[in-house]
Structure formats: structure tokens, C-alpha cells
Amino acid sequence: MNTHYDLHSHSLASDGTLSPEALVTRAAAAGVEVLALTDHDDTGGIAEAQGAASAIGIVLVPGVELSVTWGRQTVHIVGLHIDPASSVLQQGLARLREFRNWRAEEMGRRLARSGIEGAYAAASEKARGRIISRTHFAHFLAEQGYAASVRDVFKHFLKPKKPGFVPGEWATLEEAVGWIHAAGGQAVVAHPARYNMTASKRRKLLAEFVELGGEGLEVVSGSHSRGDNFGMAQLARMFGLKASAGSDFHGPENPWVELGRLDPLPEGCDPIWSNWSFSSGCDARAAV
Ligand code: AMP
Ligand code: MN
Ligand code: MN
Ligand code: MN
């Protein structure tokens, strides 16, 4: 039988709403056998998730989702099988979090100028000492009735050209791939169909990514349509990239995305896990 993989998910260590343990429990109940925890710019949830996965008997792949600025846009690079103890990686993550903290304060100031008071304090409170994400702001603004849904808050307040938006100054693509490799991991371009860029710009991104030694493309994503999956499978083949698959689950309050609920990889893909070896049932490593 095919192993059931979900290689992109979030916990309370970033902008997800479940603890790492609850996430792993839910993944196992959904039939996931190999789960990657890929919190934004933070690896603080991995130890708890590893413990829960060993207890339940599924495989936890240590991961991270790095914020990158490329071509004046934000793109996300997932690292799989990273060693969270890597000092190169942790120094990089610390820099991203420093920018996040400044950005959150600046978002608060900009929202205050448009008449929305207290957003920074409320978002920090929600983040509970972990990274502060636009998602934390969005939940506060939605609760306060500034828009009908979290999605609408993003649309009206938190996207480029909107009052609470602060342009990213994240890692370069080269840094992100370098940090992931320094931590022994494989680099994967996350949800490639979701970026608001032309097809030729997307191909340029992938060409640079391959040049830098990047390994994978998230061909199947919870935020892709069926058609996107096929288009991205074609791109993966064109660029010689391995194919990954992940739900990008953030929490049960979004019923559109569920752990493990993923389309199969289209025919002809080379799965990113094709050279992974599973030793004890609670540990997985990329064979080198
Ligand atoms: P940040 O990294 O702080 O800029 O926040 C990005 C996160 O916001 C993404 O990882 C998503 O979880 C969330 N997000 C982005 N766009 C939307 C949207 N339109 N609706 C809901 N959540 C979104
Ligand atoms: Mn997120
Ligand atoms: Mn992402
Ligand atoms: Mn994600």
C-alpha cells in the first residue's frame, strides 16, 4: 500500500492553532503516516511533535517554512529533514524573527493610523511569545468586526497596497537554500501555483532555485486546484525537481484544508521521498 505523506503543516509554534501534539494526533487519526511540521521561521514545535509521533507510531519529518523575498515578492521555501540544532539555520531564523517583530510593530502603527487601535498588543497576545504573523493580526481584526472573515481581513487590510501591509525584507533565495542545506535538509518551493506572478517569472524563480541546488517543488498542495497540480508536475519535470505534497494545514477552523487530504502526485513525478529511508518507524532521514 502507498504510504500516506503530508509534508507541510503548522502548529502553535507559528500561525497554526493546534499544539504540535494535537496536530500529530489529528494527522494520525486522518491516516497520515509521514508528517512534516513546517512552521514559519521557527523550529520550536519540533521536539514536542517528535515525542508525540514516536508515542503514536507515525513518522515526523522535522521541517520549517522559510520566508524569502525574491523579485520584490514573498515566496516560501520549505526545508524537510532539517536538523533544528544547526547553528547556521538558527542564526538565519533569528534574523527573520527579528524582522517579524519590527514588522509587527510597524503594522500596528500603520493600522492605528487608519483608526484601528490595539492591533499590535492583541496580535502579540495571540502569538504567546512565538512568531507574530499576519494571521494573528487577521484573527484580531475579524473578531473586532473589521471584516466578515479572516480572508476578507487579508484582502482589505493586510495585502500589498492595503493599510496594514508592510513589505517583506526576508531571506534571499540563496540564503534560504543555504541554511536548509547547512542543516542537512532538502529545499522545496512551497505552494508554487499560489504566487501572484506570471508563468515566465515562476520559471525564472525555479531556474534560480535549481541553480542554487534546490531539490523539490510542492506539486500537490492544499491550496492548489487539480489543474495547478498538473501544471506544477509539468514544471517539476521540466526543471528536474522532485515532487512534494503537503496540505499546509493551519487548524480545524478552516474546513477547506485537512491534514492528509491531498490529491495523488500526478503520473511521472519523482517523489521527494523516493530516497528516504525509515529506520525505526519513528525517524526518517534522507539517504545520502
Ligand atoms: P506572514 O508570514 O506573517 O506574512 O503571514 C503569512 C500567512 O498568512 C500565510 O502563511 C497564511 O497562513 C496566511 N495568509 C496569507 N494570505 C491569506 C489569506 N488570503 N487568507 C487567509 N490567510 C492568509
Ligand atoms: Mn501560515
Ligand atoms: Mn506558505
Ligand atoms: Mn505553510
pLDDT at 70 (0 to 100): 98
Q: Is the pLDDT of residue 185 over 70?
A: yes
Residue nearest to atom 21 of ligand 1 (CA): 151
Evaluate whether 206 touches 42 at the Cβ level (below 8 Å): no
What is the per-residue pLDDT across 192-233, written as a single tens digit (0 to 9) for each? 999 999 999 999 999 999 999 999 999 999 999 999 999 999
The residues whose Cβ lies within 5 A of ligand 4, an ion, are 65, 248
Q: Could you tell me the three cell numbers for 32?
A: 497520515
- pLDDT greater than 90 at residue 278: no
pLDDT at 288: 43
The yes-or-no verdict on residue 285 having pLDDT over 90 is no
Q: What is the pLDDT of residue 3?
A: 82
Task: Output the pLDDT for position 2.
Answer: 76
Positive or negative CA dihedral for 214, 215, 219, 223?
A: negative
Instruction: Cell 499546509: give the residue.
Output: 248
Give the residue-averaged pLDDT of 17-26: 98
pLDDT at residue 137 above 50? yes
pLDDT at residue 279, as a whole number: 55
With cut-offs at 50, 70 and 90, classify the pLDDT of residue 282. very low
Mean of pLDDT values over 28-36: 98
Q: Which atom of ligand 1 is nearest to the CA of 132?
A: 3
- What is the average per-residue pLDDT within 121-141? 97
In single-letter form, the type of residue at position 26 comes to R
* Probe target for ligand 1 pocket from 135, 137, 152, with the most ligand atoms within 8 Å of CB: 135
* Long-range contacts of residues 273-282, Cβ cutoff 8 Å, at least 24 apart: 273/3, 273/5, 273/7, 273/34, 274/242, 276/81, 278/34, 278/59, 281/57, 281/59, 282/50, 282/53, 282/54, 282/57, 282/58, 282/59, 282/60
Mean pLDDT, range 102-129, rounded to an integer:
97
Share of the chain above pLDDT 70, in %: 96
Q: If you average pLDDT over every residue of the chain, what do you get?
A: 95
Q: What is the pLDDT of residues 226-266, one digit of tens each?
A: 999 999 999 999 999 999 999 999 999 999 999 999 999 99
The pLDDT of residue 80: 98
The C-alpha cell of 70 is what?
A: 525574491
Mutating to test ligand 1, I would choose from 133, 191, 196 the residue with most ligand atoms within 8 A of its C-beta, which is: 133
User: Pocket around ligand 1: residues whose beta carbon is below 6 Å from it?
Assistant: 15, 40, 67, 133-135, 150-151, 154, 250
pLDDT at residue 281 is higher than 80:
no
Mutate to test the pocket of ligand 1, among 103, 154, 170 (most ligand atoms within 8 A of CB): 154
Whole-model pTM: value is 0.96
SS3 readout for 22-46: HHHHHHHHCCCCEEEECCECCCCCH
Q: Relative to the alpha carbon of 133, which ligand is closest? A: 1
**Average pLDDT of the residues in 151-155:** 97
Question: How many CB atoms are located within 10 Å of the residue 93 CB?
Answer: 24
Going along the chain from its start, the domains and CATH numbers come out as 5-85+173-286 (3.20.20.140), 94-158 (1.10.150.650)
Residue 136 has a pLDDT of 98
Q: What is the pLDDT at residue 1?
A: 54
